[in-house]
Amino acid sequence: MAILTMTFAHLPSPLAQALEAHGYTALTPVQAAVTEPEASGRDLVVSAQTGSGKTVAFGLAMAPELIGDESALPFATAPLALVVAPTRELALQVSRELQWLYAPTHARIATCVGGMDPSRERRTLQGGAHIVVGTPGRLRDHLERGALDLSALACVVLDEADEMLDMGFREDLEELLDATPENRRTLLFSATMPKPIEALAKRYQKNSLRISTVGENRGHGDIAYRAVAVAPAEIEAAVVNLLRFHEAETAMLFCATRDNVRRLHATLVERGFTAVALSGEHSQSERNNALQALRDRRARVCVATDVAARGIDLPSLSLVIHVEIPRDAETLQHRSGRTGRAGKKGTAVLIVPFPRRRRVEMMLRGAKINAEWAEVPTPEAIRAQDRERLLETILAPVEPDEADLEIARTLLEQRSAEELAAALVRAHRAALPQPEELLSGTDEGRKQAAHRPGFDDVVWFRMDVGRRQNADPRWILPTLCRRGHVSRQEIGAIRIAPNDTWFQVPRAIADRFADAVRRTADPKGEDENGIHIEAAPDGPREMARDNRRGANDGPRKFQRNDDRRGDDHRGPRRPHPAGQRPQGKPHRKGPAQPR
């Protein structure tokens, strides 16, 4: 991350001292922007990427209202500043940052978050606090109970405001802001600026200054993105090999649900990884212990849901693995932003099931991310990495004490140097979890991954809709199950051509399937959506010949038998013009999308 060369002379001296004591030599772009003369005393709307130093930025921005020309803050009967954050972890992190930043001013900072003792928080508020940091729900609770007095507030900060609105905290935020004085400053920090944020700024800010330090690369410069395509059944094995290949000091793995977090965490611990879990089912004490284990290196892997990991800042985190695909580009950005912070390099890896590769490619394009597609690391590649790391570790210079040397001399008297070196190598390797053999990376493996038991002997069937009619497996599969009275597991491969679709049915149930299709059709052989299904033993080969002849432009190989329609000759079917039919439905009155 780029930093600006400048001094701290324009900052209040207590904060300048704190920055220098904390190792700062210059301000980051967002910190410099909020302390410019044009930003002084104004409401701010700030867009800045994750890991850009936003907490220190708004700590500096609200300093003039809190400190003025004084070197220390006087006793306060009511808070002077309020900082609202979406999650407990982020609020606790903000509180820690403001503690060292405002330490020279003797500021009292109160933290109010869910999962903590509310009576203790109320006592802290009653004892006088200059700055209050908390989550929307807990702050609103204290406000309604009369424990939080906002009448003297000079500045309010909404950190990660977009996330708070996404999480449903709009009413809480509005109640808090409505209880603050009219002349207070409002600093709104948000990674993105959707319409709800614009509306919030318009309602609660006056003559606000907009600051953006997010460039066209959207803050991906310090993160190397990779994507690996695997069979769905081999996702956990891919996680193991990625962790072993990178051997990151700290890695974070993202799952979509707490159940998946629990399952993956148990798998990794069983395999020998030092891992912790973070999800909504864990108490605040358990979450604090997990984060502390990561900070003091007792654990190296964190398995988490999106919300649980929001706002977590681990300086040693260098690897993020998207075990389950993010729901959108913004989630991808926030997840990956846990690494590559404060100028450090990081790696983000997406594990992509084969059927979902196209969706991920579209997401990456939308996020303007250039990801390198690669294979899952093989055991051979992992062992080669282990060898390099092992040599580097063992050959690193050491300063042994006399007790270590005494043990070394005793060992040399009993074993040769080669035997001792071999024992040392074996001891290092024994502590490493074994890599997995994946089938996905080979042609044979892909065939096996695609193979399903019970489909060694199949009959191909054909239905007379294809890509031109917006054929899509999302509605084709439920249609086949309904027409043929079969389950999803009894339908094999589906091949969609320009005007036709072929699919497999096990030979053992093919006659039963065909009878059910006939019973669910009208006298013309169609269902209520005008779709005709028939056996087509040469389906895939016919489709391949059509493709070679240019079936997209030429006549269809399988023409409808319009004689079966009597006088009802409708002519060739044509797709609707783009945009006139919902995607995923045929141009006729197609079946409804599955719910």
Within a domain: residue 432? Answer: no
pLDDT tens sequence across 508-546: 899 999 998 988 888 887 887 788 899 987 766 555 444
Provide mean pLDDT across the span 29-50: 87
Do 100 and 201 have their domain in common?
yes
The enclosing domain of 118 has a CATH number of 3.40.50.300
Within a domain: residue 390? Answer: no
Angle at 240 between CA 235 and CA 243, to 5 degrees: 120
Do 173 and 251 have their domain in common?
no
Q: State the residue for tokens 């500096």.
A: 60
Do 176 and 251 have their domain in common?
no
| Strand runs labelled E in 146-249 | 155-159, 185-189, 209-212, 223-230
pLDDT at 452: 59
Within a domain: residue 586? Answer: no
Percent of the chain with pLDDT over 70: 83
Provide mean pLDDT across the span 584-593: 44
Do 124 and 160 have their domain in common?
yes
pLDDT tens sequence across 247-264: 998 999 999 888 899 999
Provide mean pLDDT across the span 355-365: 88
pLDDT at 574: 37
Please tell me which residue, 472 or 362, carries the higher pLDDT value.
Answer: 362
The enclosing domain of 545 has a CATH number of 3.30.70.330
**Count of beta carbons in the 10 Å neighbourhood of residue 98:** 23
Do 164 and 228 have their domain in common?
no
Task: Select the highest-mean-pLDDT range: 3-12, 198-207, 214-223, 337-346.
Answer: 198-207
Alpha-carbon distance of 104 to 113, in angstroms, equals 25
Q: Is the pLDDT of residue 177 over 90?
A: yes
Provide mean pLDDT across the span 274-300: 87
Contact 584, 472 (CB under 8 A): yes
Do 464 and 488 have their domain in common?
yes
Provide mean pLDDT across the span 474-482: 85
| DSSP 8-state secondary structure symbol assigned to residue 372 | E
Within a domain: residue 404? Answer: no
Do 158 and 261 have their domain in common?
no
The average confidence (pLDDT) of the chain is 81
Which strands sit side by side in the sheet containing 501-506, from one edge to the other? Answer: 494-496, 501-506, 458-463, 533-535
pLDDT at 186: 94
Within a domain: residue 305? Answer: yes
Q: Which of 132, 145, 61, 72 is nearest to 102 (CA)?
A: 72
Percent of the chain with pLDDT over 90: 28
Contacts 24+ apart (CB under 8 A), 477-481: 478/591, 478/594, 479/527, 479/529, 479/531, 479/591, 480/533
Within a domain: residue 439? Answer: no
Provide mean pLDDT across the span 439-465: 67
pLDDT at 352: 92
| DSSP 8-state secondary structure symbol assigned to residue 454 | T
Do 169 and 206 have their domain in common?
yes
Domains held by the chain: number: 3
Q: Which of 151, 186, 212 is the last residue of a domain?
A: 212
pLDDT tens sequence across 366-402: 888 889 999 999 999 999 998 888 888 888 777 778 8
Q: State the residue for tokens 């020279």.
A: 104
Please tell me which residue, 563 or 6, carries the higher pLDDT value.
Answer: 6
Do 178 and 242 have their domain in common?
no
Range(s) of the domain holding residue 555: 453-560
Q: Which of 212, 231, 266 is the last residue of a domain?
A: 212
Do 189 and 40 have their domain in common?
yes
Do 181 and 37 have their domain in common?
yes
pTM assigned to the model: 0.54
Q: Which of 185, 212, 239 is the last residue of a domain?
A: 212
Within a domain: residue 540? Answer: yes
Q: Is the pLDDT of residue 578 over 50?
A: no
Do 279 and 183 have their domain in common?
no
Within a domain: residue 471? Answer: yes
Strands 458-463 and 533-535: antiparallel
